Amino acid sequence: MTLRPFGAISRRGVLKLALGAGGVVAGGVGGVFALRGSAPTVEGLAVLSAHEYRTMAALASAAFPDGTLPAGSPSLDLARAFDTYLADEPRWAQDEAKQALFLLELGPLVFERRLATFSHLSPAERVAHFEGWARSSSELRRQVATGFRKFLCLLFYDQPAAWTLFGYPGPMISGGAP
């Protein structure tokens, strides 16, 4: 559910939030981009840029690190699944998702005044930072956190490899035990 995660986010809202956080973005765009660094090229992306893909992958890998699923499970690239999903969304939804990823990437700098961007945090720091968004007094940050969390969890827990972690026998229609 809630695969269209960012229905509430307007460009104006994102900019307002960023500017309201001390003008870090507006005042130092060049420095921000330098800090963000380059992102490895990712083949076959439909909507996300390499930087946006990297942010989403950083969030996904912090939430569900390698080794979460049993050994030998098929790999699930949640960031690419997000890109695939977005490809069939309206343009406004794509734009809002991209803005949300941009803001999340700059989150440590804008909201914690750290000289780091989200993808460069350790996995534990990423989870902690994301939790901060979920509990933020800013409605927009909570909305972004809600959208990403629902998307990632729905896809992660819907895969058969995950079911073995909590004893779900699978849907009966597909052969799951009664």
Total chain residues near another protein (CB under 8 A): 49
- Stretch of 30-38, 50-58, 110-118, 129-137 lying at the interface with another protein (CB under 8 A): 129-137
**CB within 8 A of 38, min separation 6: which ones?**
none
Residue 135 as a binder of another protein (CB under 8 A): the answer is yes
> Using CB under 8 A, which of 39, 108, 155, 161 touches another protein?
155
Residue 153 as a binder of another protein (CB under 8 A): the answer is yes
Contacts of another protein in 33-92 (CB under 8 A): 62-64, 68, 88-89, 92
In which residue are the tokens 């700059």 written?
106
* For another protein, the closer CB: 24 or 125: 125
Q: How far is the CB of 33 from another protein (least distance, A)?
A: 28
Amino acid at 49: S
Q: How far is the CB of 11 from another protein (least distance, A)?
A: 12
Q: Are 133 and 144 in contact (CB under 8 A)?
A: yes
* For another protein, the closer CB: 15 or 153: 153
Which pair of structure tokens corresponds to residue 65? 């690190």
DSSP per-residue letters across 46-113: SS--HHHHHHHHHHHHHHS-TTSSPTTPPP--HHHHHHHHHHTS-HHHHHHHHHHHHHHHHHHHHHH-
Q: Are 96 and 48 in contact (CB under 8 A)?
A: no
By CB under 8 A, name the binding residues for another protein.
1-5, 7-8, 62-64, 68, 88-89, 92, 127, 130-131, 134-135, 139, 142-143, 145-147, 149-158, 162-163, 165-174, 176, 178
